[in-house]
């Protein structure tokens, strides 16, 4: 049954999740560090291919199938869990830590799933784990957001399940590999994946739910759901033109909404959609360079997005404030958090010498190599836009702009440690790209550090920055949110159903009353006319004789009078 | 803000330094464009006869122009989409 005796890395992480419950708080760091480290070792020790085959009904389950792509994703998921765990362990609740481990373990599980059934089970576990992470924030708003989040993901799960069942029924194979986009089953699977990627129309769940989690909760959330979706899209649907359009929409959706947003963590949440848009576009392009780009970008993105959310989380932790309009000037008393936030912001903007510069450029170059002119020009504009909405906007409004007068203390040691490590990784990948390129699924023949690339990137970014400061008056922070597609089901559908039921009940009442009226009329009529009713009752002839006797007697009496 | 904070206002926030910060930015922009005189860019799409991306200062004006468009576009969409931050709690 077992070909190569190796443990699934997700199992180790699940065991650690359970252990956390029994271990006293001061020992919690042990499983938090050990489980991801063991998982990392297992990922690289497990040979490529299907390592575990289990029989299930008439099908074969492959819960430990490792490919070059899945290795990269499982690696970054484990790294994320390790440093996210260190960032979280002192202030996060036990529920949050356990949920985060289940969440991360199932994300690793998805990347190691060789069949659609295992994938689906991990997929749903991920939805439950992430919902509990949001829930663990313990506020009413977080609870409501988590329920909306769960509804979307359960719906996505059902659509995915329908697709999987139809696919298995049609092809007879449960294998998870490239799926041709030709018919109902494949579109349902694609829709299930895309919902988790934050594709339109369901992009709003990211900015709705993630910012309501605890400071560390949103760090975990930023990493796993959308990037497992990127992984599954890459395996199943690479090279489909449709994904180019979807990805480009996400890229600009993220920028526009982040520009409108006032909540610092929602800015970063919208920017997740933007970044995943780049990856989805690259998957749509589908060349090996593009897929390398999407993989590398996902890896780098998880690090710098987590770093940005760690820095935002530290600010939230120390000030209790998320609104840009109420923040500013924090660099004075939180310099380390500010520096780390800025490094993350530079990395997400693909600033030269950071991880974004050497990873995202693979994707844009792929568009150029494939001759996709307009895709390239749009991605270039979007790259400038990233600097605008995340690269400058986030650090500027949180740490600089006007002085809010807030003088919070620096974040706690474990939080700062995690941030410094991720900053280090952002710079290390940026400075030594060739070492990083070796773990990518396909061989890389790409040199990011050419004079041309450096000069053009500096020009693009500096002038994007100039646009930001020149147009700053247009971006004055307001205490607002922006309507999104979720308005349709949160307000419109609600009001519509309320109006419908109002009408329904009033018609129902009128009909019942009309019916009852007729019913009583009929009843009265029947009471009067039924065989035993007052009118139609048959009377015995003796009564008649008595009455005739009475009448005759009365006559007789009158006669004698 | 207390009075003692006012006195030791960080130099970034002192009004007399605003001009210096703007000049610094202008210097950076000029420095970024300067290499244009020495470096010849390769066009990304020679087969489609598109060479605009190799023209002088393309990345500079394209970066500024598209960003300005996105800011203005977001501003306009904002009129349509923005609601008070208690919109869903009402």
Which residues in chain B (32-61) have CB-CB distances under 8 A to chain A? 32-33, 35-36, 39, 41-42, 44-45, 47-48, 50, 57-61
Judge if A457 and A543 occupy the same domain. no
Which of A201-210, A280-289, A420-429, B50-59 is predicted with the least confidence, judged by mean pLDDT? Answer: B50-59
Identify which of A256, A329, A466 has the shortest CB distance to residue B29: A466
Judge if A193 and A257 occupy the same domain. no
Q: How confident is the model at residue A413 (pLDDT cuts 50, 70, 90)?
A: very high
Residue A473 is classified by DSSP as G
Chain A residues within 8 A of B45 when measuring between CB atoms = 368, 371, 373, 376
Find all residues with CB under 8 Å of A92, minimum gap 6, and list them. Answer: A100, A136, A214, A216, A217
Tell me how far apart the alpha carbons of residues A264 and B90 are, in angstroms, rounded to a whole number. Answer: 22
Tell me how far apart the alpha carbons of residues B34 and B12 are, in angstroms, rounded to a whole number. Answer: 27
Work out how many domains chain A is built from and give that number: 3
Which of A430, A446, A472 is a domain's end point? A472
Judge if A468 and A497 occupy the same domain. no
User: ipTM of the predicted structure?
Assistant: 0.90
Tell me how far apart the alpha carbons of residues A81 and B18 are, in angstroms, rounded to a whole number. Answer: 43
Radius of gyration of chain B measured on its C-alpha atoms: 22
What tens digit of pLDDT does each residue of A415-473 get? 999 999 999 999 999 999 999 999 999 999 999 999 999 999 999 999 999 999 999 99
Judge if A152 and A21 occupy the same domain. yes
Identify which of A262, A456, A478 has the shortest CB distance to residue B59: A456
Whether A223 and A306 have beta carbons less than 8 Å apart is answered as yes
Are B41 and A478 inside 8 Å of each other by CB? Answer: no
Closest chain B residue to A463, measured at CA: B64
Q: Is residue A478 part of a domain?
A: no
Q: Is residue A482 part of a domain?
A: no
Residue A124 distance to chain B (closest CA, Å): 28
Q: Is A200 on the interface with B (CB under 8 A)?
A: no
3-class DSSP state of A366: helix
Q: Is B83 on the interface with A (CB under 8 A)?
A: yes
Are B62 and A460 inside 8 Å of each other by CB? Answer: yes
Q: Is residue A378 part of a domain?
A: yes
What tens digit of pLDDT does each residue of B20-53 get? 999 999 999 999 999 988 888 888 898 888 888 8
Q: How many CB atoms lie within 10 A of CB A509?
A: 10
Whether A271 and A225 have beta carbons less than 8 Å apart is answered as no
Query: What is the domain extent for residue A134?
Result: 1-170+177-200+211-216
Tell me how far apart the alpha carbons of residues A495 and A499 are, in angstroms, rounded to a whole number. Answer: 6
pLDDT at A526: 81
Judge if A357 and A446 occupy the same domain. yes
Largest CA-CA distance found in chain A, in angstroms, rounded: 145
Work out how many domains chain B is built from and give that number: 1
Q: Is B64 on the interface with A (CB under 8 A)?
A: yes
Which of A50-54, A255-259, A429-433, A439-443 is predicted with the least confidence, judged by mean pLDDT? Answer: A50-54
Residue B25 distance to chain A (closest CA, Å): 8
Residue A367: both structure tokens together: 């568009």
What tens digit of pLDDT does each residue of B72-84 get? 999 999 999 999 8
Half-sphere exposure for A118 (CA within 13 Å, toward CB): 30
Mean of per-residue pLDDT scores for chain A: 93
What tens digit of pLDDT does each residue of A498-519 get? 999 999 999 999 999 999 999 9
Give me the residue label for tokens 């690793």.
A108
Tell me how far apart the alpha carbons of residues A446 and A432 are, in angstroms, rounded to a whole number. Answer: 13
Tell me how far apart the alpha carbons of residues B79 and B82 are, in angstroms, rounded to a whole number. Answer: 6
Q: Is residue A98 part of a domain?
A: yes
Find all residues with CB under 8 Å of A370, minimum gap 6, and list them. Answer: A285, A287, A290
Are B29 and A458 inside 8 Å of each other by CB? Answer: no
pLDDT at B13: 84
- The burial of A245, by beta-carbon neighbours within 10 Å (0-12 exposed, 13-18 middle, 19 or more buried), is given as middle
pLDDT at B47: 86
Judge if A383 and A351 occupy the same domain. yes
Are A480 and B62 inside 8 Å of each other by CB? Answer: no
Are B59 and A459 inside 8 Å of each other by CB? Answer: yes
Are B44 and A368 inside 8 Å of each other by CB? Answer: yes
* Closest of A71, A314, A403 to residue B10, by C-alpha: A403
What tens digit of pLDDT does each residue of A124-156 get? 999 999 999 999 999 999 999 999 999 999 999
- CA–CA distances in Å: residue A218 to residues A208, A312, A365, A469: 11, 10, 32, 29
B83 membership: H or E segment, kind and range = strand B82-84
Which residues in chain A (274-333) have CB-CB distances under 8 A to chain B? 323, 329, 332
Query: What is the domain extent for residue B54?
Result: 3-89
Judge if A190 and A307 occupy the same domain. no
Predicted TM-score of the model (pTM): 0.90
* Closest of A282, A454, A442, A444 to residue A370, by C-alpha: A282
The rounded Cα A319 to chain-centroid distance in angstroms is: 26
Judge if A402 and A464 occupy the same domain. yes
Does residue A332 have a pLDDT over 50?
Answer: yes
Q: How confident is the model at residue A410 (pLDDT cuts 50, 70, 90)?
A: very high
Does residue B2 have a pLDDT over 80?
Answer: no
Tell me how far apart the alpha carbons of residues A204 and A209 are, in angstroms, rounded to a whole number. Answer: 9
Tell me how far apart the alpha carbons of residues A219 and A313 are, in angstroms, rounded to a whole number. Answer: 8
Judge if A417 and A538 occupy the same domain. no
Does residue A171 have a pLDDT over 80?
Answer: yes
Judge if A275 and A184 occupy the same domain. no
Judge if A452 and A503 occupy the same domain. no
């Amino acid at each position: 049954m077992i070909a190569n005796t190796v443990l699934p890395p997700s199992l180790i992480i699940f065991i650690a999740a359970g252990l956390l419950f029994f271990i006293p708080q001061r020992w919690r760091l042990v499983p938090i560090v050990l489980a991801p480290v063991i998982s990392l070792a297992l990922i690289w020790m497990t040979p490529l291919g299907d390592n575990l085959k289990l029989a299930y009904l008439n099908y074969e389950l492959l819960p430990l199938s490792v490919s070059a792509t899945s290795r990269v994703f499982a690696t970054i998921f484990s790294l994320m869990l390790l440093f996210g765990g260190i960032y979280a362990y002192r202030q996060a609740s036990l529920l949050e830590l356990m949920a985060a481990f289940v969440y991360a373990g199932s994300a690793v599980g998805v990347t190691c799933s060789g069949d659609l059934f295992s994938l689906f089970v991990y997929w749903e576990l991920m939805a439950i784990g992430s919902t509990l992470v949001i829930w663990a924030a313990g506020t009413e708003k977080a609870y409501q957001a988590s329920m909306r989040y769960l509804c979307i993901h359960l719906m996505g799960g059902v659509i995915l399940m329908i697709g999987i069942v139809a696919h298995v029924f049609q092809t007879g194979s449960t294998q998870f590999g490239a799926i041709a986009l030709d018919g109902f089953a494949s579109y349902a699977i694609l829709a299930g994946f895309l919902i988790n990627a934050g594709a339109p129309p369901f992009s709003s769940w990211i900015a709705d739910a993630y910012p309501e989690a605890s400071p560390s909760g949103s760090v975990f959330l930023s990493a796993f759901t959308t990037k497992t979706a990127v992984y599954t899209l890459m395996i199943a649907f690479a090279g489909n033109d449709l994904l180019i359009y979807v990805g480009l929409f996400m890229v600009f959706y993220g920028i526009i909404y982040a520009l409108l947003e006032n909540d610092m963590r929602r800015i970063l949440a919208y920017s997740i959609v933007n970044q995943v848009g780049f990856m989805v576009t690259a998957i749509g392009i589908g060349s090996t360079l593009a897929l390398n780009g999407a993989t590398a970008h996902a890896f780098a993105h998880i690090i710098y997005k987590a770093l940005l959310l760690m820095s935002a989380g530290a600010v939230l932790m120390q000030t209790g404030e998320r609104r840009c309009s109420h923040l500013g000037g924090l660099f004075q008393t939180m310099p380390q958090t500010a520096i780390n936030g800025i490094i993350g912001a530079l990395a997400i903007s693909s600033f030269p010498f950071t991880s974004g510069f050497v990873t995202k450029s693979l994707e844009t170059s792929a568009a150029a190599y494939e001759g996709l002119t307009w895709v390239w020009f749009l991605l270039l504009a979007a790259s400038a836009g990233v600097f605008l909405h995340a690269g400058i906007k986030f650090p500027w409004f949180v740490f600089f702009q006007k002085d809010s007068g807030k003088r919070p203390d620096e974040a706690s040691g474990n939080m700062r440690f995690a941030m410094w490590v991720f900053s280090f990784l952002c710079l290390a990948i940026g400075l030594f790209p060739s070492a990083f390129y070796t773990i990518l699924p396909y061989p890389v023949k790409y040199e990011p550090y050419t004079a041309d690339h450096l000069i053009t990137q500096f020009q693009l970014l500096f002038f994007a920055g100039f646009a930001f400061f020149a147009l700053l008056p247009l971006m004055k922070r307001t205490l607002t949110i922006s309507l999104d597609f979720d308005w349709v089901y949160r307000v419109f559908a609600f009001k519509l159903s309320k109006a419908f039921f109002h009408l329904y009940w009033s018609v129902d009442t009128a009909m019942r009353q009309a019916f009852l009226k007729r019913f009583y009329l009929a009843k009265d009529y029947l009471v009067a006319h039924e065989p035993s009713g007052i009118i139609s009752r048959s009377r015995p002839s003796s009564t008649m004789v008595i009455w005739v006797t009475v009448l005759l007697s009365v006559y007789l009496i009158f006669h004698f009078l | 803000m207390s009075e003692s904070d006012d006195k030791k206002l960080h130099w970034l926030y002192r009004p007399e330094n605003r001009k210096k910060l703007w000049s610094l930015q202008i210097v950076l922009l000029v420095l970024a464009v300067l290499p244009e005189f020495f470096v010849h860019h390769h066009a990304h799409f020679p087969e489609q006869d598109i060479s605009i991306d190799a023209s002088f200062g393309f990345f500079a004006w394209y970066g500024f122009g598209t960003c300005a468009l996105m800011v203005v576009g977001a501003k306009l969409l904002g009129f349509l989409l923005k609601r008070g931050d208690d919109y869903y709690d009402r």
